């Protein structure tokens, strides 16, 4: 576990910063709820008249005058985008940074197999994402308490689980990309996360591209599809797990064979 | 029984169409200090990285301690101490952290030896690695390569950036380990250190080994450095000469040919004094790298030396 512990130490500061920023934004968003609740009738009417954008952001299925509806729309966006970028950044750098920062020659001339290196780095990615999500869930719960709003626990935990799965899927795909890409990998990772987010919006806007829901993990992590029925789309979640597993197999097999740039 | 600790057989590495190393045959015997000589870009680091499994050979074989470097990479690296030419470490770590991390990756407790090495090299273990000069990064790399007392040491350009005192201490350490039975491969373009410390050497040019043998053999090759003092203005060197220079009546050239013919030629020219001596390894090296060295190349491949 030497490599795992090393990666956790290397990413500790970044993890704390992201947790504070996303957690803080969750708290700020939820702090606005009492004011929104008072104007909910007007806001719901306004959001309902936004045409296709009403559906794109799930405001036709969530009532922002209710705590869970507001949480889904506002916090869902913050946690969705912030968490996805964090996962993409972490995943895309994990293998490639050894080459871009010229530490690969140091690491890989020690008696460690490349499989072990990749496995321990992946474990660090998973641990960081889990810690971030635990911190965000704790901030969310504290924020509900702060505004004296009741949590509907089942959809809350399903939403948190979906966010975690989505971030793990993005991290795994970026981890695989990391085995191929050296320089410029961060841009690729963040761009990939942004693309997936917009694919979900596009899928919500038009039935003609409904198949995009099978591509982007934002589809199954969308609060508008989880909160109303307190359920996850098992097909989409299953596909997401499949994509992640395939990505990991590719990552390890490529990394084990590739020529290391030093 | 094959006593080669590092052995390459027709080892070739190509990067697409670009050359890496081509059909390198090399053997470093147990207990040897082996010099691997060549200028930047000749293929020294590519050869070493292929041997250590960082990059895959296009064809041919490489073995360390009798183990194939690809499938047995982990076993090989457990017994090798490697110092890269340009050491880079993880930002935010202190020297002591890097050295301890290296030991943990080897599942060894090397704290006592690491402390001893740091003291001998004058390395402050409390400093952050991003604040280190090239020389101090080299020292960290030396400690990481030596603290676990491996059987085989591979140093790639070890002394660049080190001040003379630390260079001296480094070679003292290297000779101590050699006396304890370790095998050393020293990649360098500093020819004086190869001549001083190495028993055998190979010269690599454009990815190919162009000469190999003992350092004495390479130096005492068929070529001779001839200095003729007090010659007249129309002086012309004999056939088989190269690197000819004439200054203030003193002529100097490398002669490669029949010594009787040289003596007969000298008898026919006027001069005050003559010196015929073995070239040092630097001259041998320059001989191989001089323009039009193809002829020497062919001879070397046939004869193994000049």
ipTM, two decimals, is 0.85
Task: Write out the two tokens for B211.
Answer: 């000469």
> Which candidate, A44, A64, A53, A86, places its Cα nearest to that of A190?
A86
Q: What is the pLDDT of residue A39?
A: 77
Which of B163, B160, B98, B104 shows the shortest CA–CA distance to B127?
A: B98
User: What pLDDT score does A131 carry?
Assistant: 98
* Residue A105 clears pLDDT 50, i.e. is over it: yes
Question: How much helix, strand and coil, in percent to the nearest 5, is found in chain A?
Answer: 80, 0, 20
Going along chain B from its start, the domains and CATH numbers come out as 4-215 (3.40.50.300), 219-303 (3.30.70)
Residue B31: what pLDDT?
95
Instruction: Give pLDDT tens digits for A72-85.
Output: 988 899 999 999 99
Q: Among candidates A223, A67, A230, which has minimal Cα distance to A145?
A: A67
Residue with more model confidence, A207 or A114:
A114
Give A90's pLDDT tier (boundaries 50, 70, 90): very high
Quote the mean pLDDT of chain A.
91
Q: Is the pLDDT of residue B30 over 80?
A: yes
Enumerate the residues of chain A whose CB falls inside 8 A of the CB of residue B134: none
Residue B225 has pLDDT above 90, yes or no: no
pLDDT at A118 over 70: yes
Give the rounded percent of residues in chain B with a pLDDT score beyond 90. 58
Asked whether the predicted pLDDT for residue A226 surpasses 90, the reply is yes
Q: Is the pLDDT of residue B158 over 70?
A: yes
Output the pLDDT for position A59: 67
Domain ranges in chain A?
2-257
The pLDDT score that the predictor gives to residue B189 is: 80
Question: So what's the pLDDT on residue B287?
Answer: 67
What was the pLDDT predicted at A93? Answer: 94
Q: How far apart are CA B28 and CA B7, in angstroms?
A: 6
What pLDDT is recorded for position B99?
97
pLDDT tens profile A165-192: 999 999 999 999 999 987 778 999 999 9
pLDDT at B256 over 90: no
In this predicted structure, the answer to whether residue B302 has a pLDDT above a threshold of 90 is: no
Model confidence at A70: pLDDT above 80: yes
For the cut 80, the answer to whether the pLDDT of residue B41 exceeds it is yes
Mean pLDDT taken over chain B: 87
Q: B186-215, pLDDT tens digit by residue?
A: 998 887 888 899 999 999 988 999 889 998
Q: Is B104 on the interface with A (CB under 8 A)?
A: yes
Distance from CA of B55 to the nearest CA of A (A): 4
Per-residue model confidence (pLDDT) at position B301: 43
Q: How far is A103 from chain B (nearest CA, A)?
A: 6
Query: Across the strands, what pairs with B61?
Result: B9
On whether any CB of chain B is under 8 Å from the CB of A102, the answer is yes
- pLDDT value at position A262? 72
Report the range out of A51-65, A181-195, B69-83, B140-154 with the highest average pLDDT: B140-154
> Average of pLDDT values for B264-288?
79
Cα-Cα-Cα-Cα torsion A119, A122, A128, A133, nearest 10 degrees, comes to: -120
Q: Do A106 and B77 touch (CB under 8 A)?
A: no
Residue A20 to chain B, least CA–CA distance (Å): 21
**What percentage of chain B reaches a pLDDT higher than 70?**
89
Q: Band of the pLDDT at B2, cuts 50, 70, 90?
A: low
Q: What are phi and psi of B6, to 5 degrees?
A: -120, 125
User: Is A260 in CB contact (< 8 Å) with chain B?
Assistant: yes
B91 in reach of chain A (CB within 8 A): yes
**Is B150 near chain A, with CB under 8 Å?**
no
Give one DSSP letter per residue of chain B, joined into a string.
Answer: ---EEEEEEEEEEEETTEEEEEEEEEEEETT-EEEEE--TTSSHHHHHHHHTTSS--SEEEEEETTEETTTTHHHHHHTEEEE-SS----TT-BHHHHHHHHHHHTT---HHHHHHHHHHHT--TTSBGGG--HHHHHHHHHHHHHTT--SEEEEESTTTT--HHHHHHHHHHHHHHHHTT-EEEEEES-HHHHHHH-SEEEEEETTEEEEEEEHHHHHTSS-EEEEEES--TT--PPTTEEEEEEETTEEEEEE-S-HHHHHHHHHTS--SEEEEEPPPHHHHHHHHHSTTTHHHHHHHHHHS--
**What is the structure's pLDDT at A206?**
82
* CA angle, residues B117, A109, B207, in degrees to nearest 5: 110
pLDDT tens-place string over residues A43-66: 677 766 766 666 666 667 777 788
């Amino acid at each position: 576990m030497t490599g795992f512990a090393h990666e956790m130490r290397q990413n500790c500061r970044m993890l704390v910063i992201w947790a504070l920023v996303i957690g803080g934004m969750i708290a700020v968003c939820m702090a606005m709820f009492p004011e929104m609740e008072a104007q909910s009738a007007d806001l719901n009417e306004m959001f309902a008249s936004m045409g296709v954008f009403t559906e794109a952001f799930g405001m036709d299925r969530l009532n922002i005058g209710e705590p869970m509806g507001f949480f889904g729309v506002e916090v869902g966006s913050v946690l969705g985008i912030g968490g996805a970028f964090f996962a993409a950044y972490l995943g895309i750098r994990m293998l490639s940074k050894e080459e871009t920062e010229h530490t690969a020659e140091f690491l890989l001339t020690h008696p460690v197999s490349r499989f072990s290196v990749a496995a321990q780095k992946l474990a660090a990615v998973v641990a960081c994402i889990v810690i971030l999500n635990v911190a965000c869930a704790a901030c969310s719960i504290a924020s509900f308490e702060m505004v004296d709003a009741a949590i509907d626990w089942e959809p809350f935990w399903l939403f948190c689980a979906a966010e975690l799965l989505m971030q793990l899927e993005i991290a795994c795909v970026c981890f695989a990309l990391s085995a191929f890409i050296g320089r410029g990998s961060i841009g690729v990772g963040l761009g990939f996360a942004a693309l997936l987010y917009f694919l979900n919006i596009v899928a919500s806007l038009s039935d003609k591209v409904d198949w995009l829901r099978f591509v982007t993990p934002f589809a199954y992590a969308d609060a508008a599809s989880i909160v109303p029925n307190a359920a996850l789309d098992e097909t989409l979640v299953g596909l997401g797990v499949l994509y992640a597993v395939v990505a990991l197999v590719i990552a390890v097999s490529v990394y084990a064979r590739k020529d290391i740039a030093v | 029984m094959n006593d080669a600790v590092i052995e390459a057989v027709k080892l070739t590495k190509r990067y697409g169409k670009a050359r890496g190393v081509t059909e390198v045959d090399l053997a470093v015997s147990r207990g040897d200090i082996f010099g691997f000589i060549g200028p930047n870009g000749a293929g020294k680091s590519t050869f070493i990285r292929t041997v250590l499994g960082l990059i895959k050979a296009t064809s041919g074989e490489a073995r360390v301690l009798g183990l194939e470097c690809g499938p047995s990479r982990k076993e090989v690296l457990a017994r090798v101490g490697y110092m890269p030419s340009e050491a880079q470490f993880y930002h935010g770590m202190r020297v002591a952290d890097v050295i301890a991390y290296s030991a943990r990756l080897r599942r060894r407790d090397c704290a006592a030896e690491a402390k001893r090495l740091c003291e001998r090299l004058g390395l402050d273990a409390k400093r952050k690695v991003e604040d280190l000069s090239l020389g101090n990064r080299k020292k960290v790399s030396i400690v990481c390569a030596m603290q676990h007392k491996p059987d085989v040491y591979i140093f790639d350009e070890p002394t660049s950036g080190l001040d003379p005192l630390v260079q001296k201490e480094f070679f003292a350490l290297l000779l101590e380990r050699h006396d304890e039975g370790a095998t050393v491969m020293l990649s360098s373009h500093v020819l004086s250190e190869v001549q001083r410390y190495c028993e055998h050497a190979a010269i690599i040019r454009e990815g190919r080994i162009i000469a190999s043998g003992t350092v004495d053999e390479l130096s005492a090759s068929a070529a001779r450095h001839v200095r003729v003092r007090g010659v007249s203005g129309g002086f012309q060197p004999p056939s088989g000469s190269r690197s000819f220079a004439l200054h203030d009546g003193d002529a100097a050239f490398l002669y490669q040919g029949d010594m009787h013919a040289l003596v007969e030629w000298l008898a026919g020219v006027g001069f005050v004094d003559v010196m015929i001596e073995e070239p040092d390894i630097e001259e041998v090296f320059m001989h191989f790298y001089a323009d039009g060295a193809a002829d020497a190349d062919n001879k070397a491949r046939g004869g193994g030396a000049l």
